[in-house]
Amino acid sequence: MALNKILIVEDSELLHKMYDLILLRYKKIGVSVVHAYNGREGLEMIAHNPDIDLILLDINMPVMSGLEFLKYAKKEDLLREIPVVIISTEGKSEDTIRGLEQGAKAYITKPFQATDLYRIIEKVTFEKTPPPLGDLGGSSMRGLSSKR
């Protein structure tokens, strides 16, 4: 699967900026990033951007939560070919299980390290052929700790 466009569904403007920095290595090879600030906006972005290849999804958001987004998208068969990675402060095992049952491919607990996200992205989108990233990596997010 080629990675062309990533949708970030997250209510925090600061985290959107952080994701833009973390995803810079993908932007350098032509991947675009689009943003939504709640689940309902995320569904609208999917409808208007049929070329979305990956969704990074928060759980706790206003208007429509990440789990509500997944439930609706699963019911409407919107995510059949789009892997979803939940990235949330909710680290309880029941939240992880619910997210995976609703169709998410992976779950990362905030705060996380950029390398954790890179590994997950490559696992869910490039299972057979890794992207030609070379030494574009390196994160300015070194201060974030990893919790799983």
In a domain? residue 136: no
In a domain? residue 19: yes
In a domain? residue 34: yes
Q: Which residues pair with 147 in a beta bridge?
A: 109
Q: Do the bridges between strand 84-88 and strand 5-9 make them parallel or antiparallel, or are there none, so unpaired?
A: unpaired
pLDDT in tens, the chain (148 residues): 578 899 999 999 999 999 999 998 888 888 999 999 999 999 999 999 989 999 999 988 999 999 999 988 888 777 778 899 998 887 667 777 888 888 888 888 888 889 899 999 988 887 644 444 444 444 333 333 333 3
Owning domain of residue 116: 5-125
In a domain? residue 28: yes
Number of domains, the chain: 1
In a domain? residue 20: yes
In a domain? residue 114: yes
Region for residue 37 given its phi and psi (left: phi exceeds 0; alpha: psi -120 to 50; beta: otherwise): alpha
Q: Which residues pair with 87 in a beta bridge?
A: 108
CATH of the domain at 121: 3.40.50.2300
In a domain? residue 84: yes
Looking at residue 1, what is its pLDDT?
Answer: 59
3-class state of residue 1 by DSSP? coil
28, HSE (Cβ side, Cα atoms, 13 Å): 12
In a domain? residue 29: yes
State the residue for tokens 């997010």. Answer: 141
In this structure, the number of other CB atoms found within 10 A of the CB of residue 8 comes to: 23
Helices (H), the chain: 13-22, 24-27, 39-48, 66-75, 93-101, 114-125
C-alpha distance from residue 88 to each of 29, 67, 81, 125 (Å) = 27, 11, 22, 20
Residue type, 60: N
